[in-house]
Copies of this chain bind each other. A is one copy, B any other.
Amino acid sequence: MTVVVPYPTLLSTVTGVFAARGVPPDRARVAAEALCHGDLTGVTSHGLVNLTRLYLPLLDSDRADPAADMAVTADLGACVRADARRALGLWSAAQAVDLAAARAARLGVGVVSLRGATHIGCAGFHAARAALHGMVGLVASNCGGQRIARPPGGLEPLLGTNPLALACPAGERHPFVLDMSTTVVPTGRVRAAARAGRAVPPGWLADDSGEPVTDPAAFDRGEAHLLWLGGRPETGAYKGFGLGLLVEVLAALVPGAALGPVGGGADDDIGVLALVIAPELLRSGFSGDAGRLFEAVLGCAAADPRAPVTYPGWPEGERARWRREHGVPVPEELYDELRAVAPALRAAG
């Protein structure tokens, strides 16, 4: 029930799909890398599954503009405000990080504050571009006007799942890449469980009275709401909600993008923060210290010797290395979806 597709085939296929929709080829390639990153690393909720469900409908309905150029609306050197003008977020978030990294390489820090974006895919993919240059990258994105999660004690959803990612080099090892929604899980994991007919653990969803709900389909029926990281009030729900607001402030309020609590609506005019710090400009020895830090985490004694201690980004890095060599497993249903929109893959089939 799974088709193993060579990574280069997957990448060129998706690149071709975006290019056929009018995305310039170099941008289509970056967008395809961002999308396939989910399947390559195992974060399948943010991978190929979103091609026909999210990105192609965005392009087909003109909510995303395939050829739009980013417009810089304020440039203070280390701090830039820009408008993505509805370009594919899969590409424009990468562009924002690259610009922030270029500024950081000169000035120690670079901030690109972006409005007018569309869904960026895995925030960690974009943050990790900074780590490739030996820098620390932080990427946050709100969900435009989309309202998904309620404040603790509230009855109405106000904010999206507001992802936050940080990447840092780890010497010779896979970079540290934290890539998290500020809710317990992103909606994609709830919907994947619903499609698979699997119950979700207590602690992801609750009903109006606060009781745990384990039927993932209850979420889209409006009978259960998604909880913030921290879960119950006494175990830190206000921290998860506060992190959601932190992302709303940094990613959307600062550049003037759409805000979930104000107006609400679709996930258009998304706000993105790309922040890059270049530590080697501040001191020598950063790279070696980074290697020692993450090596020490990997060296921590494990409760279960068969489950070594790792850090966020390490398991994903291992999985990606294997799949680059041996191919990417794609569920048959998803493979058929891809064949339907990708002439190149059909020809090879």
Q: Does A136 contact B (CB under 8 A)?
A: yes
Q: Contact: A151 with B300, CB < 8 Å?
A: yes
| Complex Cα gap A193–B203 (Å) | 25
Q: Contact: A185 with B281, CB < 8 Å?
A: no
- Nearest residue, chain B, Cβ from A201: B234
| Complex Cα gap A57–B193 (Å) | 53
With a CB–CB cut-off of 8 A, which chain B residues contact A108?
74, 76-79, 111
Give chain A's interface residues, CB within 8 Å of chain B: 73-74, 76-79, 81, 104, 107-109, 111, 113, 136, 138, 150-156, 158, 166, 168, 176, 178, 180, 184-185, 201, 203-204, 208, 210, 229-232, 234-236, 238-243, 245-246, 248-250, 253-256, 259, 261-262, 275, 277, 279, 281-283, 285-286, 289-290, 292-293, 296-297, 300-304, 307-309, 311-312
- Nearest residue, chain B, Cβ from A301: B155
How far does the Cβ of A297 sit from chain B's closest Cβ, in whole Å?
Answer: 6
With a CB–CB cut-off of 8 A, which chain B residues contact A240?
229
The answer, among B155, B176, B245, B255, for a CB contact under 8 Å with A312, is B245
| Complex Cα gap A77–B110 (Å) | 12
Q: Contact: B242 with A312, CB < 8 Å?
A: yes
Q: Contact: A290 with B253, CB < 8 Å?
A: yes
With contacts A76-B107, A78-B109, A253-B289 known, is A239 near B229, CB below 8 A? yes
- Nearest residue, chain B, Cβ from A77: B107
How far does the Cβ of A166 sit from chain B's closest Cβ, in whole Å?
Answer: 5
Q: What are 8 A-B contacts defined by CB distance under 8 Å?
A: A74-B281, A79-B107, A154-B301, A203-B235, A245-B297, A256-B286, A261-B297, A262-B296
The answer, among B79, B242, B303, for a CB contact under 8 Å with A154, is B303
Q: Contact: A242 with B300, CB < 8 Å?
A: no
Q: Contact: B81 with A78, CB < 8 Å?
A: no
